[in-house]
Amino acid sequence: MSEMLYEAPKTLKAAVALLAAANGRAKVFAGGTDLLIQMRSGRIEPGLLVDVKGIPELRSIAQEKGGFRFGAAVTAMELAEHQALASMWPGVIDAVKLIGSIQVKGRATVGGNLCNASPAADSVPAMIAAGALARIIGPNGKREVPVEEIPTGPGRTSLGHGEMVVSFLLPKRPRRSGDAYLRFTPRTEMDIAVVGAGVNLTLNAKGVCTRARVSLGAVAERVLLVPEAAAALIGHRINAEALERLAAAASAACRPIDDKRGTKEFRIKVAGVMARRAAEIAVERARRQI
């Protein structure tokens, strides 16, 4: 085993300088709930861990532009306990609450869940459905990108050399909006999604859907944004036919693998069911605001 260095910078500038100088063997270290397991199993052997939990921008939650910005290293538990954020984005918080046990949630972060780039990561479909933006910093400065552009495949992201995620913006919501995330797992807790579905929508005063975003997890090499499924809702009252069209479009977008937890056929079918049920919850939440 070769030498590994550990650094805990207190500023973004210092973190980027460490990552940029590190020859590609550096890893951002947030909660460590994925990273430590991968290191112990020998899957990765970083030369440098850059612990980002001491950097204020990665640890705060604040209102911004009528929505919320939260740091990439805010823990799942801290998010779940933030009442105002949870009441504006209940579907995102439903997803965050599904990450592991209480102990895991006390360490796990949304930044780590996203950048670990598992297609089955629970917070990611909910964040994509929400239209969340990620703020990235690197040697060339800052940029903002939609969350769906970050994972590119299992364990792979679009982040460049020396880049890291600083924070996320959950946008302001129009009135009569609702979101929801559901996952299918064989066990009720401490399991990895066989399928996950996030739905976020807005209704007008007549109950017609004016905006929608649908995202699916664990049915492709990365979490998918599925515009065809959203199109099944937009411009319609959310009745049984619209939900059936949504389910069909969600199933059609899947390109899953077979594995011990589910066959392709099962995942394709369940993706439609989960998307439909998540949409029903999102509609119910939106209607409560009328």
Ligand X SMILES: Cc1cc2nc3c(=O)[nH]c(=O)nc-3n(C[C@H](O)[C@H](O)[C@H](O)COP(=O)(O)OP(=O)(O)OC[C@H]3O[C@@H](n4cnc5c(N)ncnc54)[C@H](O)[C@@H]3O)c2cc1C
Residues forming contacts to ligand X in the complex (CB under 6 A) are 27-35, 37, 52, 72, 98-100, 104, 107-109, 111-113, 115-116, 121-122, 164-165, 190
* Beta carbon nearer to ligand X, 28 or 129: 28
| Residue from 65, 86, 285 nearest 175 by CA | 285
* Beta carbon nearer to ligand X, 161 or 255: 161
Least distance from ligand X to the Cβ atom of residue 8, Å: 13
* Beta carbon nearer to ligand X, 72 or 233: 72
* Beta carbon nearer to ligand X, 193 or 246: 193
* Separation of alpha carbons 240 and 146, rounded Å: 31
Least distance from ligand X to the Cβ atom of residue 196, Å: 8
* Beta carbon nearer to ligand X, 72 or 225: 72
165: three-class secondary structure by DSSP: strand
Starting from the edge strand earliest in sequence, which strands make up the sheet with 48-51, in order?
Answer: 5-7, 48-51, 26-29
Q: Burial letters for 187-209: b for 16+ Cβ neighbours within 10 Å, e otherwise?
A: eeeeebbbbbbbbbbbbeeeeeb
* Separation of alpha carbons 127 and 247, rounded Å: 20
Tokens matching residue 88: 């504006």
* Separation of alpha carbons 187 and 98, rounded Å: 12
1, amino acid identity: M
Least distance from ligand X to the Cβ atom of residue 56, Å: 14
For the CA atoms of 131, 136, 141, 143, what is the dihedral angle to 10 degrees?
A: -10
Least distance from ligand X to the Cβ atom of residue 84, Å: 22
Least distance from ligand X to the Cβ atom of residue 164, Å: 4
Least distance from ligand X to the Cβ atom of residue 233, Å: 26
Question: Which residue number has the CB closest to ligand X?
Answer: 112
* Beta carbon nearer to ligand X, 108 or 203: 108
71: three-class secondary structure by DSSP: strand
